[in-house]
Amino acid sequence: MRVNAVLPAGLTLTLVLAASVAAAGGSSGLMDRARREGTVRVLARLPVASAPLAMRGTAVGDQARRVAIRSARGRLEAELGNTAWEIKHAYENIPYVALEIGADALARLQLTDRVSGIAEDRLEKILLAESRAIVQADRADSAGYDGSGWAVAVLDTGVDASHDFLTGKVIDEACFSSNGSCPDGSTEQTGAGSARPCEFADNACLHGTHVAGVVAGDGQTVEGIARGASVIAIQVFSRFTGSTCDDDVEDPCAKTFTSDTIKALDYVYGRRNDFKIAAVNMSLGGGQHSSVAACDLEDSARKEIIDQLRSVGIATVVASGNESRVDALASPACISSAISVGATNDSDGVAAFSNSAPFLDLLAPGVQILSSIPGGAGATISGTSQATPHVSAAFAVLNQRQGGQDVDQVLNALKSTGLQVTDSRNGITTPRIRILDAANQLPGSAITSSGLQITPDGKRTLVSKDVGAERWAITLNADDGSVTGNVFKSDGSEPSFVWCAYLFDDGNSNANERQITFECSGADACPGPSCPAGQWTTLATVALPGSFFLPPLSAASVMSTTLSPAQVSGDAPSGLQVTPDRNRTLVSKDVGSDRWAITLNAEDRTVTGNVFAPGKEPTFLWCEFQFDDGTADPANVLLTYDCHIADRCAVAPCDASQWSFLQEVVVPGWFFQP
């Protein structure tokens, strides 16, 4: 069942009361349609195997995959022969082909082994899960940036903190309602429950919960843009009846005074030292302003608090309005220090309802966005109100990336990396946000792991520190006290493999001052692909202070060198060494554009080490072995790992709970063989 309505300010609502949607009839339904309508659109999957992880993203791997896809597509075309078919899209890098076909071609598709699956090429509406991909929130999340540690203040009609989509997300609540519409009947209320959703306007009162879900929701199948972020919920609306509701779709209706929103903004400013607040989300507004100067003058009080928030690194992100204007924005979006947001549709065009003007800052998806509403339900809503939380959440994600608050820096990154979208109504071009691209442009966190991390199982200490002019990317293994890893030279040449056997320490009770003596050996100049035990060369007896393997006494970074791209490119002479005791395999190989300097530990099959991206400090890596596919050939067996990273914690080292899941990684056995 669906209920359609128009919310205040022209907001279109489709309320989803049932989560399931009937399927279109499967393959038999497609055949019935093909016979009835003449043709149907389908997506056919070609039987091309996935490339090994180590080959993905490399020029050789990509080219081989394209060749395999083209060959498979050619075989399918030959199979279809003189039946009724037409290719609509031939993809280069994924093994799919989009076809428009008749019943005879569909019958052949259903029988042939030239395809491994058939699906209807459906007409679909944009939902939150899709908008995450559009703005690259899913890819930023995979890179470890999900807004963790940061909060967004949502000034709206209240937030249902008990909704499954928002469990544990609401960390602070307040209400400012001049008509006494706070939950306890007062005009001001703070504390737990004070931002409970209003109940006097059926359409409007679900709005704040929806916006909060877009920002930070975390569900089983649907996620918000910054699923690791928190929400400060502030209810700023009041109950009105009669003529005040003449421009609305319901009576009673929800309206907010400018003074109430200013009070809420002031509250946020006062909480800035209690919470790390990335942004304020204001999916509200009114009026129209065709110039920033006039808006600043008319809304000067609100501008002042917005200025103040911006001065301490808190962005105020505001919806441009839904009146289809092409030369004006609603207030407070028009304020010069606010960040105004318009809406795009599912084809990256400006939505017809979205206000536009030359001074509009950003665009984000705002058509048919699925999110939470009070009572545990979900709804799809369209409006600049839905585009705005995409941008507010982006500030949380990007603040996490850069380790601090700089509104101008984040805004400039979003603008310069955004997809340039031209509004066909007025010719104005505005960037639609792309979060991962913006993240890649920003500097990394000022706290770059302090050069050391301890794996969550406590068994190993991962180190990336400078020793003279060299970078040591190594692991201290607690079971035998050995050190294994890679040493990168300052001249950009390939790394040396190093294995240091623990000899003794001086017995100093001060762990930082204790002197530990190792005998270090290297292997990087053997004639064969890996050195046998007898060909590891003794480098030196090395005495290191215990502090080398401990977090610094202060949180300041101890790393001073960033590897240049030349230092992580190319293939190592062998790329791999097995330590003389046979307990560990040391690897230095390129995976895509990254260099993985890692150790495979025979004891528990974990992988530990450092991942170097060109021009950046390393990411610390810990991968737990999950299973293999049972292939007897050790070179071709597929090994599955769950990999975690730790390099963005406020205090080093990260505790076990702060290691972030990176991704499931599947590698062939030969990745760990000479």
Positions annotated as catalytic residues are 156, 207, 385
Confirm if 674 and 576 have CB atoms less than 8 A apart.
yes
The whole-angstrom separation of Cα 105 and Cα 103 is 6
Q: Are 521 and 601 in contact (CB under 8 A)?
A: no
Q: Name every residue whose Cβ is closer than 8 Å to that of residue 642 and which is 6 or more positions away in sequence.
A: 623, 624, 626, 661, 664, 665
Q: Is the dihedral of CA 146, 148, 152, 157 positive or negative?
A: positive
Both tokens of 505, joined, read 């320490």
Tokens matching residue 554:
């202060």
Residue position matching structure tokens 């000034």: 155
Pair 473, 463: CB distance under 8 Å:
yes
Largest CA distance in the chain: 92
Strands 253-255 and 230-235, sheet pairing: unpaired
Q: How many CB atoms lie within 10 A of CB 303?
A: 23
Query: How is residue 111 written in tokens?
Result: 């029988």
d(CA 157, CA 167): 18
Q: Is 636 helix (H, G, I), strand (E, B) or coil?
A: coil
Cα angle, residue 117 at apex, residues 114 and 120 outer, rounded to 5°: 120
**Ranges assigned E (strand) in 524-659:** 537-545, 576-578, 584-591, 594-601, 607-612, 619-628, 638-646
Instruction: Report the C-alpha gap between 134 and 391 in whole angstroms.
Output: 12
DSSP letters along 466-523, please? EETTEEEEEEEETTT--EEEEEE-TT-PPPEEEEEEEEEE---S-TTT-EEEEEEEEE
Q: What is the DSSP string of 126-150?
A: --HHHHHHHTTHHHHHHTT-S-TT-
Nearest to 663 by CA among 631, 630, 619, 629: 619
Q: Which residue has the tokens 């004639």?
A: 527
Is the CB of residue 626 less than 8 Å from the CB of residue 651? no
d(CA 52, CA 179): 63
C-alpha dist (Å) from residue 183 to 162, 192, 206, 430, 622 = 15, 11, 15, 40, 47
Do 366 and 386 meet the contact criterion of CB atoms below 8 Å apart? yes
- Residue 223 DSSP label: B
Is the peptide bond between 374 and the residue preceding it cis, with omega within 30 degrees of 0?
A: no
Rounded CA gap, 97 and 191, in Å?
55
Sequence-separated (6 or more) residues with CB below 8 Å from residue 103? 31, 34, 35, 84
Return d(Cα 184, Cα 175) in angstroms, integer.
10
